[in-house]
Structure 1
Amino acid sequence: MEKQIHIAMLIGALTKGGAERVLVNLADYFAGEGYQVTMVTQYRKENEYPLNERVKRVISDISPQETTGNRLINFKRRFTKLRNIWKSEKPDVILSFIGKNNMMAILTSRFLRIPVAVSVRAEPGEEYYNSWMRFMARHLFARADGVVLQTRRCFDFFPEKVRRKAVILQNPVSAGFFRERYEGVREKTIVAVGRVDENKNHEMIIRAFGEIAKEFPDYKLVIYGEGERRQTLLELVRERGLSEQILLPGSIDNVADAIYKARIFVLSSNSEGVPNTLIEAMVMGLTVIATDCPCGGPADLIESGKSGILIPVGGTENLRDHLRRLLEDTKQADTLGMEAAKTAGAYRPENVYGAWEKFLLALAMNR
């Protein structure tokens, strides 16, 4: 029997990315617990995460027939369609993820007596990337019923009236990553996982490993993920004659299995919220190297030199030196991995999902 609380979730699409995975995991949990869950996305795209069959999917974008050459008219129609979705679905609480979706969730639900929680999934100054969006986020979020931020550093972006409503909630980690740390002979691979775009800066890993690849001919660098930079990076690899040692196989479904026995995991982003892929690597006990990027997610996760290594953003030479040292001293690498595995307790599903459930139910009950 379904519980009475109806949770609606809003995001642009369910394409494979960190924020999308968090929301799909949350939807799966709440549906499994018997809640009524509606997933509202503006688009349906290829390469999406699969959604629990008990979750209702609603598309909020206007049809090609409704689209005009006038952007203002198109916006008004999208606004009206989303507001009508809230009116017809009648959720008890709305959870929105990312950028303009958060603004739309607040604006379209005004005076409908539906509590709204907005979640900023990255560095706020990056997610709200121009002066108009920053102004709106800083002031409009005061009208939300709850605000979910990723790190303590994120609080500094917002005025006190928003900070009073803000909480930090951990990202749920898929159950497949919770397994005993692999203690056998590790594969001679360095791995990275994530969207292959400018921000993830996988080029830095390619250049760093490329400088020591001849010293470690048995090792491979494998970068899992799709994105607009993939073909450019493949060309860079070919130019350097490293196609046998550096691989970019694209997106895969079984990430946990693919990286489980890897020697080192690298996160090279210019900015991040709290990166799922880094949490997942640490939960499995991999040796991790990550940039100390804003808004401070990696620094919240890693005690540098104990449970992993933090390096400067864009620090190619620094990364190269740490890779060389850890590939030469695998005992030290394993020590770091064993410490990383100790972070698993904080991300166990029962703890993380329970906190999200308590947060959303409190909002729903106060409507």
Structure 2
Amino acid sequence: MTGGGKLRKKHIAMYIGSLNKGGAERVMCNLAEYFYSIGYKVTLATTYLSDDEYELPDAGWKVLEDEDDKNAVKVLSPDETERYVDLTGGVPMGIGRVFTALMPYEQGNRLQNFHRRIQKLTNTWERIKPDLILSFLGKNNVMAIQSALGLDIPVVVSVRATPSEEYAGTGLNLAMKTLFPGAAGVVVQTNGAMDYFGSLIKTKCKVLPNAVNEEFIGHDIVPFDERKKVIVSVGRLDENKNQKILINAFSYAVKKYPDYRLVLYGDGPTRDLLERLCRSLGILDETGKGADGKVTFMGSVDRIADRIAEAEIFVLTSRTEGMPNALIEAMALGLCCISTDCPCGGPADLIVNGRNGILIPMESDVNMAMNIFHSLERIMEDPTIARKMAASALEVRDKYNPQVINEMWRKYFEELM
């Protein structure tokens, strides 16, 4: 029996840095809502309270404006600004929340802080008594395993990006190799990611791909012939996402097809650099309202499905990816998709080259930009090919349906608890 005040199934704790709006955070929030909906007790353990978090319909907590509320609990934001929450002010018996950041008075030097964070996590697990701990991302995974040593609680860690990137530092890589064999399970998103690990860890690996977000599954599909001549890219503006090769490719394509425009959704540290590149090429949309033959920077936005549903082409230019949410979602909306064939194989798991999209081999930035240009040219010149690829892309709606992927997670967890 479930619901407010009624007996629930086993207890799953989910550990991540924050619920800030990112791909891994969204997957964890979706899993929290799913397991709660089928009767599990769920607690989200985060280090910080971010300023821009995903909202969970069944959240058992409420963010407060100040400390005057009698139920206010002091927590920290990522920049260590003091924030306040009411941990029982949301849905009664809803998804729980605990915070594990060291408060300023608890902090010492770097080594002391690491050990104190481990101890704080251990104290958290002893207090909330989960039947299973799920951790996402890098250092969090190492800390989750170490903090649960001796507690007889199975820990499942999830590697969300390319393992060689997620565990790039010498110390973190050594900790991963030492501790991961002691995990109950290691979730990866692609077979390529699993192949990174040695035999001791590989035996613990389980491939669980991302699901298509419900927002995209339920969205109307715009007929290809009614789409706008718009190319879109969705993602953080940074060196790994490598949007400059798309901008360079577009600068060539627009000379032949001036009625197309490029729209970039997302923000990040390379935005100024990318805008300067567009300005130097004479293709920056200075108005920000959209213009043929120009590149428009939209920043971070909500309801991305509504914004890209009428576009014709989606391009992903990453150097590395796990299972890219943005690519799955664009395919689910019937966009004609182009992606770099980057490690650890997420795009290649999604795209059969030439059938439901186009894969760009990993080469120099110059070569990749030219290959993207030729791929854009191919789509723009031949609507028949584009229409067929876009129609085939829609098959991800079934293969990566949330019900299918969530059921895979449920069966996996029940084997471990």
TM over 0.5: yes
| CA deviation after TM superposition for structure 1 residue 134, in Å | 2.3
- Does the aligned pair in 2 maintain the 1:204–1:316 contact within 8 Å? yes
Could you tell me how far apart the structure 1 residues matched to 2:42 and 2:272 are? 38
Give the alignment of 1:158-197 within 5 angstroms. 158-178=197-217, 179-183=219-223, 184-197=225-238
CA distance in 2, matches of 1:236, 1:91: 50
* 1:228-249 Cα shifts (integer Å, max 9, x gaps): 1122212222222212311111
Match of 1:208 in 2: 249
Match of 1:346 in 2: 399
Instruction: Tell me the distance in 1 between the aligned counterparts of 2:308 and 2:331.
Output: 11
Which residue is 1:248 aligned to?
297
Deviation at 1:180, TM superposition (A): 4.8
**Partner of residue 170, structure 2:** 131
Q: Which moved more, 1:131-140 or 1:204-213?
A: 131-140
Residues 86-124 of structure 1: CA distance to partner in whole angstroms, max 9, x if unpaired? 111111100001101110000001111111000111111
Matched, 1:151 2:200: no
- Secondary structure in 2 matching 1:280: helix
Q: Which residue of 2 aligns with 1:60?
A: 100
1:217-232, aligned counterparts within 5 Å? Answer: 217-232=258-273
| 8 A Cα contact 1:95 1:119, kept in partner | yes
* C-alpha RMSD of the superposition: 1.4
Report the secondary structure of 1:212's partner residue: helix
Partner of 2:72: none
* SS at structure 2 position matched to 1:4: coil
Query: Out of 386, 394, 407, which is 1:333 matched to?
Result: 386
Displacement over 4 Å in runs of 4+:
none
Q: Identify unmatched segments of 5+ residues in structure 2.
A: 60-93, 286-293
**Is residue 191–residue 264 contact of structure 1 (8 Å, CA) maintained in 2?**
yes
Residues 120, 148 of structure 1: 8 Å contact kept: yes
Task: Identify if the C-alpha distance between structure 1 residues 194 and 177 changes in structure 2 by more than 3 Å, giving closer, same or farther.
Answer: same
2:323 alignment counterpart: 274
Q: Distance in 1 between matches of 2:242 and 2:31?
A: 28
Give, in whole Å, the separation in 1 of the partners of 2:268 and 2:53. Answer: 14
User: How far did 1:286 drift?
Assistant: 1.2
For the residue of structure 2 that corresponds to 1:104, the secondary structure is: helix
Q: 8 Å contact 1:26–1:172 — kept in the other structure? A: no
Return the structure number with greater relative CO, CA threshold 8 A, min gap 6.
Answer: 1
Match of 1:355 in 2: 408
State which drifts further: 167-176 or 263-272. 167-176
The letter of the residue matching 1:201 is N
Aligned to 2:89: none
1:105 — aligned with what?
144
Q: Of 110, 113, 117, which aligns to 1:78?
A: 117
User: Does the CA-based 8 Å contact 1:11-1:101 persist in structure 2?
Assistant: yes
> d(CA) in 2 for partners of 1:305 and 1:224?
25
> Equivalents in 1 of 2:209, 2:357: separation in Å?
19
Equivalent residue number for residue 45 of structure 1: 50
Q: Does the aligned pair in 2 maintain the 1:7–1:36 contact within 8 Å? A: yes
Q: Is the 8 A contact 1:181 1:341 kept in 2?
A: no
Name the SS of the counterpart of 2:105 in structure 1.
coil
Give yes or no for contact 1:17–1:194 (8 Å, CA) kept in 2: no
Aligned to 2:70: none
Q: Report if aligned partners of 1:285, 1:341 keep a CA contact under 8 Å in 2.
A: yes
Q: What's the secondary structure of 2:391's corresponding residue?
A: helix
What amino acid does structure 1 have at the position aligned with 2:48?
Y
Matches within 5 A, 1:21-32: 21-32=26-37
Which stretch shifts more, 140-149 or 13-22? 13-22
Q: Could you say which residue in structure 1 is the equivalent of 2:71? A: none
Contact 1:190–1:221 (CA under 8 A) maintained in structure 2: yes
TM-score normalized with structure 2 length: 0.84
Task: Summarize deviations over 1:64-103 as a string: whole Å, max 9, x none.
Answer: 22223x1112112211111111111111100001101110
Q: Which residue type is aligned with residue 169 of structure 1? A: L
Aligned partner of 2:351 in structure 1 is 302
Shift of 1:214: 2.9
User: For residues 4 and 339 of structure 1, what CA distance do their matches in structure 2 show?
Assistant: 40
Q: Give the superposition deviation at 1:205.
A: 0.8
Q: Distance in 1 between matches of 2:38 and 2:251?
A: 48
Amino acid at match of 2:344: C
> How many angstroms apart in 2 are the aligned matches of 1:37 and 1:191?
36
- Distance in 1 (alpha carbons) for counterparts of 2:16 and 2:242: 25
Q: Which amino acid aligns with 1:15?
A: N
> Which residue identity does 1:342 align to in structure 2?
E
Q: Give the deviation of 1:283 after TM superposition.
A: 1.7
Aligned residues between the structures: 363
Q: Aligned residue for 2:19? A: 14
Contact 2:190 2:209 in 1 (8 A): no
In structure 2, distance between residues paired with 1:15 and 1:238: 31
